Amino acid sequence: MTRLSGITPSGHIQLGNHLGAIRRWAAEGKPEDLYFVSDLHAMTTSHNPARLRSLAGEQLAVLIASGISPDRVFVQSDIARELGALTWILECTCSYGEAARMIQFKEKSKGQAGVRLSLLTYPVLMAADILLTGASEVPVGEDQRQHVELARTLARRFNTTYGEVFTMPEAVLPPSGARVRDLADPTRKMSKSNQDSAGVVFVLDEPDQIRRKIKRAVTDGLSVPAYEPEERPGLANLLEILAACTGGDPAGIAAEHKSYGALKEATAEAVVETLRPLREGANALLKDPAELDRVRKAGAARAAERGEHRLQSALRLIGAG
């Protein structure tokens, strides 16, 4: 059972990424698992090359500081040649209709001029990420489930048409309700690509920035804390964040706090302490580019080596080389 997952450097890593995904990757990781920064996926819509490079390095540092072993991380573009080759093979295994049916493509391309072809083909690159490394379990959010399904379809089709090469992957979804919402607008999820970052706590935010954002979190006109996710989503979000950081349960935590002020203070301190080792660890790594570069090169070599025999077999079976 090998796990693989990626995080796209479309913005700075935020609290929801940590609580909903990365910290589980770190806790559940086995020696053969792989986690990567999917920088090639951050080019499917308008992007800035210098910002992308900087975000990719930052995300790699955050993954390591989160407790994922440096032996299990890599940056996607460092194995661009292998992935590019496999993507082409898989594109020759995928119909146009299958790609055009992807919900994310439909949503992101709707009403847009100059849609990049890569926005359509990006799930095939994602299939290549998964199939190259032979991952059997793919931890992702609900929005990526359809893409993992496509990877399964392509693996099955290739294996039955040309010969057995690929492992059948399976999506591993987080427990339901494990969603951190935006502090300024609790109707939407906290996201690293939100234009307005007032309601987004970034993992590398300074403690005072975190305290300020949580203090200003939108709640409701009531004054006594209670856990009512439907009626009081802003407050429920704070309770869920505090519970996720301290290990308690949201309803019990609500009963322990007499006022919104006290609850916000407790939440802010819990988030500051949860993120402290990440911020300190990532900043230390970012100050040591030689070490980060060494980890990056070793990770790329490991990931490429892991996939080499599958790529060679796939090329041979499909009639190339």
Q: Which residues make up the interface to ligand AMP (CB under 6 A)? A: 7-8, 16-17, 20-21, 140-141, 178-180, 189-192
Tell the smallest beta-carbon distance from residue 271 to ligand AMP (Å): 13
Which of ligand TRP, ligand AMP, none has residue 180 at its interface (CB below 5 to 8 Å by kind)?
Answer: ligand AMP
- Of the two residues 65 and 180, which places its CB atom closer to ligand AMP in the complex? 180
Catalytic residue among 106, 189, 264, 287: 189
Q: Which residue has the tokens 């911020």?
A: 279
Which of ligand TRP, ligand AMP, none has residue 130 at its interface (CB below 5 to 8 Å by kind)?
Answer: ligand TRP
Which of ligand TRP, ligand AMP, none has residue 44 at its interface (CB below 5 to 8 Å by kind)?
Answer: none
Tell the smallest beta-carbon distance from residue 319 to ligand AMP (Å): 36
- Of the two residues 82 and 182, which places its CB atom closer to ligand AMP in the complex? 182
Question: DSSP labels for 125-191?
Answer: HHHHHHHHHT-SEEE--GGGHHHHHHHHHHHHHHHHHT-S-PPPPEEEPPPTT--PBPSS-TTSB--
Which of ligand AMP, ligand TRP, none has residue 17 at its interface (CB below 5 to 8 Å by kind)?
Answer: ligand AMP
In the complex, residue closest to ligand AMP by CB: 20
- Of the two residues 150 and 318, which places its CB atom closer to ligand TRP in the complex? 150
Catalytic residue among 108, 213, 258, 287: 108
Tokens of 49: 């090359």
The Cβ of residue 320 has, within 10 Å, a number of other Cβ atoms equal to 11
Residue whose C-alpha is closest to residue 240's, from 270, 283, 285, 216? 270
Q: Do 241 and 180 touch, CB atoms closer than 8 A?
A: yes
Tell the smallest beta-carbon distance from residue 104 to ligand TRP (Å): 8
The Cβ of residue 24 has, within 10 Å, a number of other Cβ atoms equal to 17
Question: DSSP labels for 184-229?
Answer: S-TTSB--TT-S--TT--BTT--HHHHHHHHHT----S--S----T
Tell the smallest beta-carbon distance from residue 22 to ligand AMP (Å): 7
Tell the smallest beta-carbon distance from residue 5 to ligand AMP (Å): 7
- Of the two residues 41 and 257, which places its CB atom closer to ligand TRP in the complex? 41
The Cβ of residue 1 has, within 10 Å, a number of other Cβ atoms equal to 10
- CA 262 to chain centroid, in Å, comes to 32
Which of ligand TRP, ligand AMP, none has residue 138 at its interface (CB below 5 to 8 Å by kind)?
Answer: ligand TRP
- Of the two residues 22 and 128, which places its CB atom closer to ligand AMP in the complex? 22
- Of the two residues 20 and 186, which places its CB atom closer to ligand AMP in the complex? 20
The Cβ of residue 84 has, within 10 Å, a number of other Cβ atoms equal to 12
Q: Is 108 a catalytic residue?
A: yes
The Cβ of residue 280 has, within 10 Å, a number of other Cβ atoms equal to 11
Residues that bind ligand TRP (CB under 6 A): 4-6, 8, 38, 41, 126, 129-130, 138, 140, 144
Which of ligand TRP, ligand AMP, none has residue 57 at its interface (CB below 5 to 8 Å by kind)?
Answer: none
Backbone angles phi, psi at 179, to 5 degrees: -120, 120
Catalytic residue among 192, 215, 264, 287: 192
Q: Is 287 a catalytic residue?
A: no
d(CA 111, CA 208): 40
Tell the smallest beta-carbon distance from residue 124 to ligand AMP (Å): 18
Backbone angles phi, psi at 106, to 5 degrees: -60, -45
Q: Is 258 a catalytic residue?
A: no
Q: How far are the Cα atoms of 14, 22, 148, 174, 274 from residue 143, in angstroms, in the given order? A: 17, 16, 10, 12, 26
In the complex, residue closest to ligand TRP by CB: 6
Catalytic residues: 108, 189, 192
